[in-house]
């Protein structure tokens, strides 16, 4: 960053209200905990995040689960297409072990479970719908 850009950024930041900048935890505190898990969301809140972003898909039995990809291969090691799978099968999946032994046993959460981690106050979630409009109702 050159000096002029840095000076402009500092000038703008000095003129903004103190809460103009917020910390948004992408998929929870995914730098440390496995993404889109209850552990990642809880850690983000504990570390003072203003909001968490999560990703959602609709299952074959019309339940909403929190997962970035359309299948479970990357985070669970077993490929199951979320739209073609039941929530009962998906919610048993370990989506933490890939991040390390410490996280083994972290299960794929529902949207409601992730929302339930949010402290009362001004924190919030940014929910990214990864499937189509069928999830909206």
Active site residues: 26, 68
Q: 88 with 100: CB under 8 angstroms?
A: no
Instruction: Give the C-alpha separation, 29 to 31, whole Å.
Output: 6
Instruction: Give the C-alpha separation, 28 to 41, whole Å.
Output: 4
| Nearest Cα residue to 132 out of 60, 57, 82, 81 | 57
What tokens were used for 110? 């529902």
Q: 43 with 69: CB under 8 angstroms?
A: no
What tokens were used for 54? 């999560």
Residue with the two structure tokens 């291969």: 73
């Amino acid at each position: 960053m050159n000096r002029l850009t840095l000076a402009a950024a500092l000038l703008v930041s000095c003129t903004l209200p103190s809460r103009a900048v917020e910390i948004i935890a992408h998929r929870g505190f995914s730098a440390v905990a496995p993404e889109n898990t209850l552990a990642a969301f809880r850690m983000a809140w504990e570390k003072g995040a203003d909001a968490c972003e999560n990703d959602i898909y609709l299952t074959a039995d019309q339940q909403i689960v929190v997962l970035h990809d359309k299948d479970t291969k990357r985070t669970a090691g077993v490929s199951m297409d979320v739209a073609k799978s039941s929530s009962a099968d998906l919610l048993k999946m370990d989506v933490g072990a890939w991040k390390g032994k410490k996280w083994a046993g972290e299960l794929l959460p529902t949207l409601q479970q992730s929302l339930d981690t949010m402290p009362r106050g001004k924190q919030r979630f940014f929910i990214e719908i990864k499937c189509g409009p069928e999830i909206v109702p």
